[in-house]
Chain A
Amino acid sequence: MKLELRGITKRFGDLVANDRIDLTFEPGRIHALLGENGAGKSTLMNVLYGLYTPDEGQILVNSEPVEFAGPGQAMAAGIGMVHQHFMLVPVFTVAENVVLGHEPTGPLGLIGLDRARALVRDISARFGFDVDPDALIEDLPVGVQQRVEIIKALSRDAEVLILDEPTAVLTPQETDELIEIMRQLRDAGTSIVFITHKLREVRAIADEITVIRRGKVVGTATAQDTEAELASLMVGRAVSLGVEKAPAQLADGEFTVSGLVVTDAVGRRVVDDVGFTVRGGEVLAIAGVQGNGQTELTEAILGLRTPIAGSIVLDGTELTGLSVNDVLDSGVGFVPEDRSTDGLIGSFSVAENIILDQHDRPPYARGIAMDLRVVRERSEAFVEEFDVRTPSVEAPISTLSGGNQQKVVLAREMSRPLKLFIASQPTRGLDVGSIEFVHKRIVAERDHGTPVIIVSTELDEVMALADRIAVMYRGKIIGIVGGDVDRDVLGLMMAGVAPESAEQEAAEHPTLLHEADVIADDQQSEEPS
Chain B
Amino acid sequence: MTQEPENPESPVVPEQDPGTGARGNRDATRPDDQWLRDAMHRMLTSNWLVTLLAIVAALVISGVLIAIADEDVREASTYFFARPLDTVSAAWNSVAGAYASLFRGAVFDFQAPTLARAIRPITETMVAATPLIFAALGLGMGFRSGLFNIGAQGQVLMGAAAATYVGITWSLPVVVHVVMAVIAAMVVGGLWAGIAGFLKARTGASEVIVTIMLNWIAIWLVTYLLTTTVLRQGGSRPISPAVGENARLPLLFGEGFRLHWGFLLALGAAALVWWLMERSTIGFKFRAVGANMDAARTAGINVNMIFVFVMVTAGILAGLGGAAQILGTDKTLQAGSAGSIGFDAITVALLGRSRPLGTVLAALLFGALRAGSPLMQTVSNTPIDIVLVIQAVIVLFIAAPPLVRSIFFLPSPDRPRRVKEVAA
CA distance A264 to B26 in the complex (A): 9
CA distance A324 to B3 in the complex (A): 47
Determine if A500 is an interface residue (Cβ-Cβ < 8 Å). Answer: no
Please tell me if the beta carbons of B298 and A218 are within 8 angstroms of each other in the complex: no
User: What chain A residues lie within 8 Å of B15 (beta carbons)?
Assistant: 37-38, 42, 402, 429
Which of B180-188, B191-199, B223-231, B278-286 is near enough to bind chain A?
A: B278-286
Determine if A85 is an interface residue (Cβ-Cβ < 8 Å). Answer: yes
Whether A291 touches B8, Cβ cut-off 8 Å, given contacts A219-B2, A341-B294, A341-B295, is no
Q: Which of B254-302 contact A (CB under 8 A)?
A: 279-282, 284-285, 287-288, 291-292, 294-302
CA distance A177 to B420 in the complex (A): 27
User: What chain B residues lie within 8 Å of A347 (beta carbons)?
Assistant: 291-292
Nearest Cβ distance between residue B294 and chain A, in whole angstroms? 5
| Number of chain A residues whose Cβ lies closer than 8 Å to a Cβ of chain B | 87
User: What chain B residues lie within 8 Å of A340 (beta carbons)?
Assistant: 16-17
User: What chain A residues lie within 8 Å of B296 (beta carbons)?
Assistant: 345, 356
Whether A334 touches B298, Cβ cut-off 8 Å, given contacts A237-B5, A359-B284, A370-B284, is yes
User: What chain A residues lie within 8 Å of B300 (beta carbons)?
Assistant: 323-325, 327-329, 357
CA distance A400 to B297 in the complex (A): 22
Please tell me if the beta carbons of B279 and A372 are within 8 angstroms of each other in the complex: yes
The residue that B302 contacts in the complex, of A236, A325, A357, A372, with Cβ under 8 A, is A325
Nearest Cβ distance between residue A488 and chain B, in whole angstroms? 23
Which of A94-102, A164-172, A520-528 is near enough to bind chain B?
A: A164-172
User: What chain A residues lie within 8 Å of B415 (beta carbons)?
Assistant: 13
User: What chain A residues lie within 8 Å of B279 (beta carbons)?
Assistant: 369-370, 372
Please tell me if the beta carbons of A431 and B423 are within 8 angstroms of each other in the complex: no
Which of A227-235, A273-281, A477-485 is near enough to bind chain B?
A: A227-235
Encoded as 1 (CB less than 8 Å from any B CB) or 0, chain A from 320 to 355 comes to: 000111011100001010111111111110001000
User: What chain B residues lie within 8 Å of A232 (beta carbons)?
Assistant: 3
Determine if A22 is an interface residue (Cβ-Cβ < 8 Å). Answer: no
User: What chain B residues lie within 8 Å of A336 (beta carbons)?
Assistant: 298
Q: Which of B1-17 contact A (CB under 8 A)?
A: 1-9, 11-17
Whether A290 touches B21, Cβ cut-off 8 Å, given contacts A46-B423, A323-B300, is yes
Please tell me if the beta carbons of B292 and A51 are within 8 angstroms of each other in the complex: no
User: What chain A residues lie within 8 Å of B60 (beta carbons)?
Assistant: none
Q: Which of A289-335 contact B (CB under 8 A)?
A: 290-291, 295-296, 299, 302, 304-305, 323-325, 327-329, 334
User: What chain B residues lie within 8 Å of A290 (beta carbons)?
Assistant: 19, 21-22
User: What chain A residues lie within 8 Å of B114 (beta carbons)?
Assistant: none
Please tell me if the beta carbons of B19 and A84 are within 8 angstroms of each other in the complex: yes
Please tell me if the beta carbons of B291 and A348 are within 8 angstroms of each other in the complex: yes
Please tell me if the beta carbons of B284 and A401 are within 8 angstroms of each other in the complex: no
The residue that B416 contacts in the complex, of A12, A338, A359, with Cβ under 8 A, is A12
The residue that A342 contacts in the complex, of B16, B298, B424, with Cβ under 8 A, is B298
Determine if B82 is an interface residue (Cβ-Cβ < 8 Å). Answer: no
Please tell me if the beta carbons of B297 and A304 are within 8 angstroms of each other in the complex: yes
Encoded as 1 (CB less than 8 Å from any A CB) or 0, chain B from 33 to 69 comes to: 0000000000000000000000000000000000000
Please tell me if the beta carbons of B423 and A51 are within 8 angstroms of each other in the complex: yes
Nearest Cβ distance between residue A469 and chain B, in whole angstroms? 20
User: What chain B residues lie within 8 Å of A156 (beta carbons)?
Assistant: none
Please tell me if the beta carbons of A42 and B284 are within 8 angstroms of each other in the complex: no
Which residue of the partner chain A has the closest CB to B279?
A370
Encoded as 1 (CB less than 8 Å from any B CB) or 0, chain A from 409 to 450 comes to: 000000000000000000011011110000000000000000
Q: Which of B296-350 contact A (CB under 8 A)?
A: 296-302
Determine if B236 is an interface residue (Cβ-Cβ < 8 Å). Answer: no
Selected A-B contacts with CB under 8 Å, 16 pairs: A15-B416, A38-B14, A46-B420, A168-B18, A169-B19, A236-B6, A328-B300, A334-B298, A339-B17, A340-B16, A342-B297, A348-B291, A368-B282, A370-B281, A428-B17, A429-B15
Residues of A within 8 A of B (CB): 12-13, 15, 17, 36-40, 42-43, 45-46, 51-52, 83-85, 164-165, 168-169, 213-215, 218-219, 221, 225, 229, 232-233, 235-237, 264-266, 270, 290-291, 295-296, 299, 302, 304-305, 323-325, 327-329, 334, 336, 338-348, 352, 356-357, 359-360, 365, 368-370, 372, 389, 401-404, 428-429, 431-434
Known: A39-B13, A42-B420, A168-B19. 15 other contacts (CB 8 A): A40-B419, A46-B420, A85-B19, A291-B22, A295-B23, A325-B300, A327-B300, A340-B17, A345-B295, A345-B296, A359-B281, A360-B281, A370-B284, A429-B15, A429-B18
7 closest A-B pairs by CB: A12-B416, A325-B300, A429-B17, A265-B25, A291-B22, A360-B281, A357-B299
